Amino acid sequence: MRLLFSSGAGHSHIAPMLPLTAAARDAGHEVAFVTGPSAVHHAELPGVRTVAIGAETEGSFAPYLEKFPPETFDGFTRDEKLAHMLAHYMVGMGAAARVADLLGFVREWRPDLVITNLAERAAMMAAVAAGVPYAMHAIGPPKSAALMADAWRVAGDVVRDFGVDELPPRDDVPYLDIWPDALYPDGVAWEYPTRWPLRPEAAVPVAGEPHPALSGLPYERTVYVTSGTTHNTRPGVLEAMVEALREEQVNVVATIGRNGDRDRFGTQPAHVRIEHFVPQERLLPHVDVVVCHAGAGTVLGALAHGVPLVTTPLATDQFDAADQVERAGAGVVAEASTEAVRDALRTVVAGPSFRDSADAVATRIAAMPVPHEVLKRLSAHFA
């Protein structure tokens, strides 16, 4: 088969798709990966064609903020703000700007199947306009049909310019789901109801040496602190996390991103290490708690290693992820303040049930179908 993978620019959106991309290549399929020009390097794999489509400035939030100033959202609930952003930024601005070029590539390259992700609606619309089947790849928590209703209305307006009168139903579209079922809330009508579990290979434990940042630390327990790659420069967040832990009897390894500024944190005691970047797989097997922003990659990595979390959600679906982790008993949600993070950490450290619950989720993640199994299912389904 000829398989086209597509993601908007952003490492956190591309990385979850790479294990299935590599499995497709290894199975002998012809594979291309389309993303924004600024993110092509994140998608590069030997034997996979990478294609840049979109503007260099793709991913900038500025046009959305200019069109919809803060007073637009007066009286909105958290979900209403998220639904508006998904509809008018993700689809109405981001996807709409990419559809024409993506459709041109789809018609030229003629894939048998398009595999896109929840944040990349342009590829879905291009596939529909070209008459090519598609599958939807998860990158984090699932979205409800209610939350996404306005996004589908906007998408319908966009595709009419490309000769599509109505977007087809989604009931039979495979949803390749890296989110563990242990976190799923009950009683929700999902946007993509046909769930095909897919183990998040980027998150599962791998053999390797501990990172040097862990060497020589004095305490029995170690805490990993991060706010990911999107919110790592947000003023006050990482500072509050580190400040909350520096007087605790725990080791602290905080990653601040390749573009992070160490000077923000001043002089730290010997048990606190400030690092720009450390691969999670070299930390997570050796830590006892993760303190983070509830980004999907960090949450999945921690839970796949059986590590409980303290989460301080900041934006988008991080609030959903944090709530789901707490309901599963694998962590505690806290405000991004020194006192709240410190109290939450003490709660998690003192309660062995949090580790037990995280271990239970890890067992279920390990049992999820691996990429080559899901690829075989896709190949049979779309043969």
Residue 102 shares a structural domain with residue 219: no
Please state the domain count of the chain: 2
Of 178, 206, 204, 202, nearest in space to 192 by CA: 178
Work out the angle between the directed axes of helices 145-160 and 121-130 (0-180°, nearest 10): 50
Which domain does 325 fall in, by range? 212-366
When pLDDT is averaged across residues 286-305 and rounded to a whole number, the result is: 96
Of 338, 303, 339, nearest in space to 322 by CA: 303
Q: How confident is the model at residue 230 (pLDDT cuts 50, 70, 90)?
A: low
> Distance from first CA to last CA of the chain, Å, rounded?
8
Residue 128 shares a structural domain with residue 258: no
Q: How confident is the model at residue 232 (pLDDT cuts 50, 70, 90)?
A: low
Residue 124 shares a structural domain with residue 266: no
When pLDDT is averaged across residues 213-239 and rounded to a whole number, the result is: 84
Residue 166 shares a structural domain with residue 243: no
pLDDT digits (tens, 9 = 90+) for 92-141: 999 999 999 999 999 999 999 999 999 999 999 999 999 999 999 999 99
Residue 166 shares a structural domain with residue 263: no
Using a pLDDT cut of 90, give the percent of the chain over it.
Answer: 81
Residue 147 shares a structural domain with residue 271: no
Residue 159 shares a structural domain with residue 294: no
Residues with Cβ within 8 Å of 285's Cβ and at least 6 positions away in sequence, in order, are 205, 210, 305
* Domain-located, residue 205: no
* Domain-located, residue 206: no
Residue 28 shares a structural domain with residue 174: yes
Q: How confident is the model at residue 211 (pLDDT cuts 50, 70, 90)?
A: very high
Residue 38 shares a structural domain with residue 179: yes
- Residue 378: pLDDT above 90? yes
CA dist 255 and 326 (Å) reads 23
- Residue 59: pLDDT above 70? no
Sheet order of strands, 2-6 included: 49-52, 30-35, 2-6, 113-117, 134-137, 175-177, 195-197
Residue 259's pLDDT is: 76
Range with lowest mean pLDDT among 44-48, 115-119, 165-169, 229-233: 229-233
User: Any idea what DSSP says for residue 212?
Assistant: G
Q: How confident is the model at residue 274 (pLDDT cuts 50, 70, 90)?
A: very high
- Residue 336: pLDDT above 80? yes
